[in-house]
């Protein structure tokens, strides 16, 4: 039995994690749940799953969950409470599926406490990858990816030395604008951007999939997850979304992982690693597969890829600025305050204006993130 603290239980990954847990009650148990402000949903989840603890990072909803949960369930509020949940003695695995700076602090605390962190939140490793890796080394914690692409890489690399890796490819569907012209993309509506051709995700990551910023962020993540130089990490567009990642080894062998577009598969793998347990989801049959096609991304039409590569190569606080500026710009776009094309313009402006701090502390990383968000807000007022 593995005991889980689920940070971000009301989001897409959180809900699917709970679905996996319900299917495997003899192997997995949720000890605690955390969400931002959806007190009604997290209370319902806690009752259904039997969680002992609930954390809400927004103190303004105090009382809503308390009215629904029994007194035996502890309820706490704020970022400090999230860190305490992630470091509880009775927790084996911390699923990080909550966004924001609070996820970064909780992740670092969990790793220092020796927990296994099943991570779905990109910004933690993008902004503070080096710090997270050092925290794991210091405390004996372990990082296992939940993202489908990183889970695929993780599985392809099992039993192989990183020194034997020649190149890796993360795949991406290309998003809703794969065949659009640059002019069409620049003026794309929010409604169009949210029509992802394959995956059903939250609004923010769906927009990132439309700009392809998500693939740039994933490359930075992979650099820290697998200790692979950015120069060896590439992206290939794969519209069918059945091949999730590929690894080419020094001898020329190319290893790929295929799977359905169902996040429950990488979630279960992360929670039960290194075991594989049958999961009732659709299976692939090679004879029934459609034609699999691959193409190189167009950096001119999708400049987010260039910006992410630049920030990753610069290092220091540059990736934190990339991530923070992008999150703020996407928020403004979803609020229809800026155009689609202005998302990457805002990010580039923040990267140009930022004075990079090298070998930053966690506080400096979080300060760079805050600075980037404010820079984008001021620039669009």
9 and 119 in a common domain: yes
> Which three-class secondary structure state does DSSP give residue 295?
strand
Residue 232 forms part of a structural domain? no
Whole-angstrom Cα distance, residue 109 to residue 132?
A: 9
Task: Give mean pLDDT in consecutive 10-residue pieces for the chain, a chain of 381 residues.
Answer: 97 95 96 94 94 91 85 90 96 91 90 97 92 96 96 96 96 95 95 85 89 96 96 96 97 96 94 93 92 96 97 97 96 96 97 97 96 93 65
Q: Supply the pLDDT for residue 31.
A: 97
- Alpha helices (H) along the chain: 12-23, 39-49, 79-86, 101-112, 122-139, 148-156, 182-186, 190-193, 203-211, 213-226, 264-272, 304-314, 318-334, 340-353, 362-379
Residue 92 forms part of a structural domain? yes
Q: Supply the pLDDT for residue 198.
A: 78
194 and 49 in a common domain: no
Residue 263 forms part of a structural domain? no
207 and 139 in a common domain: no
15 and 131 in a common domain: yes
129 and 12 in a common domain: yes
Residue 262 forms part of a structural domain? no
11 and 76 in a common domain: yes
> Which three-class secondary structure state does DSSP give residue 200?
coil
How many other C-beta atoms lie within 10 A of the C-beta of residue 72?
6
Q: Supply the pLDDT for residue 362.
A: 95
194 and 321 in a common domain: yes
What CATH number has the domain bearing residue 79? 3.40.50.720
Residue 161 forms part of a structural domain? no
> Which three-class secondary structure state does DSSP give residue 68?
coil
Residue 192 forms part of a structural domain? yes
- Which residues, in sequence order, are bridge partners of residue 7? 34, 96
305 and 199 in a common domain: yes
200 and 93 in a common domain: no
Using the Cα atoms of residue 194, residue 200, residue 203 and residue 208 in order, give the sign of their dihedral: negative
201 and 90 in a common domain: no
- The domain in which residue 33 lies consists of 2-145
> Do 304 and 211 form a contact (C-beta atoms < 8 A)?
yes
Q: Supply the pLDDT for residue 30.
A: 98
> Of 145, 161, 192, which one is at a domain's C-terminal end?
145
Residue 106 forms part of a structural domain? yes
* Tally of structural domains, the chain: 2
126 and 40 in a common domain: yes
> Of 145, 166, 198, which one is at a domain's C-terminal end?
145
Q: Supply the pLDDT for residue 100.
A: 67
How many other C-beta atoms lie within 10 A of the C-beta of residue 278?
8
What CATH number has the domain bearing residue 317? 1.10.1740.10
Judge if pTM exceeds 0.85: yes
111 and 10 in a common domain: yes
Residue 291 forms part of a structural domain? no
- Extract the tokens encoding 221: 């993540």
């Amino acid at each position: 039995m593995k005991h889980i603290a689920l940070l971000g239980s009301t989001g897409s990954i959180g809900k699917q994690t709970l679905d996996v847990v319900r299917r495997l009650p003899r192997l997995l148990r949720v000890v605690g749940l955390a969400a931002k402000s959806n007190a009604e949903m997290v209370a319902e989840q806690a009752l259904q799953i039997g969680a002992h603890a609930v954390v809400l990072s927004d103190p303004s909803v105090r009382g809503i969950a308390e009215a629904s949960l029994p007194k035996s369930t502890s309820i706490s509020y704020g970022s400090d409470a999230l860190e305490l949940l992630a470091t509880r003695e009775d927790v084996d695995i911390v699923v990080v599926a909550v966004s924001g700076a609070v996820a970064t602090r909780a992740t670092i605390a969990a790793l220092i406490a020796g927990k296994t962190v099943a991570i779905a939140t990109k910004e933690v490793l993008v902004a503070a990858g080096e710090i997270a890796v050092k925290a794991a080394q210091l405390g004996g914690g372990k990082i296992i990816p939940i993202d489908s692409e990183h889970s695929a890489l993780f599985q392809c690399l099992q039993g192989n030395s990183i020194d034997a890796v020649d190149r890796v490819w993360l795949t991406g569907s290309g998003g809703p604008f794969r065949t659009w012209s640059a002019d069409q993309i620049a003026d794309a509506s929010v409604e169009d951007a949210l029509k992802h051709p394959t995956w059903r995700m939250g609004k923010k990551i769906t927009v990132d999939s439309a700009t392809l910023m998500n693939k740039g962020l994933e490359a930075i993540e992979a650099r820290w997850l697998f200790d692979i130089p950015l120069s060896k990490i590439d992206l290939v567009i794969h519209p069918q979304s059945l091949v999730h990642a590929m690894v080419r080894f020094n001898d020329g062998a190319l290893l790929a992982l295929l799977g359905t577009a169902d996040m429950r598969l990488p979630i279960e793998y992360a929670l039960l690693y290194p075991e594989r347990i049958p999961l009732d989801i659709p299976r692939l049959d090679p004879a029934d597969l459609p034609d699999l096609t691959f193409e190189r991304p167009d950096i001119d039409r999708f400049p987010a890829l260039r910006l992410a590569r630049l920030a990753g190569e610069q290092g220091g606080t540059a990736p934190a600025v990339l991530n923070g500026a992008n999150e703020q710009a996407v928020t403004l776009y979803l609020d229809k305050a800026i155009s689609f094309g202005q998302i990457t313009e805002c990010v580039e402006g923040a990267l140009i204006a930022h004075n990079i701090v090298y070998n930053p502390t966690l506080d400096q990383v979080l300060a760079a993130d805050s600075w980037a968000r404010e820079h984008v807000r001021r620039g669009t007022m």
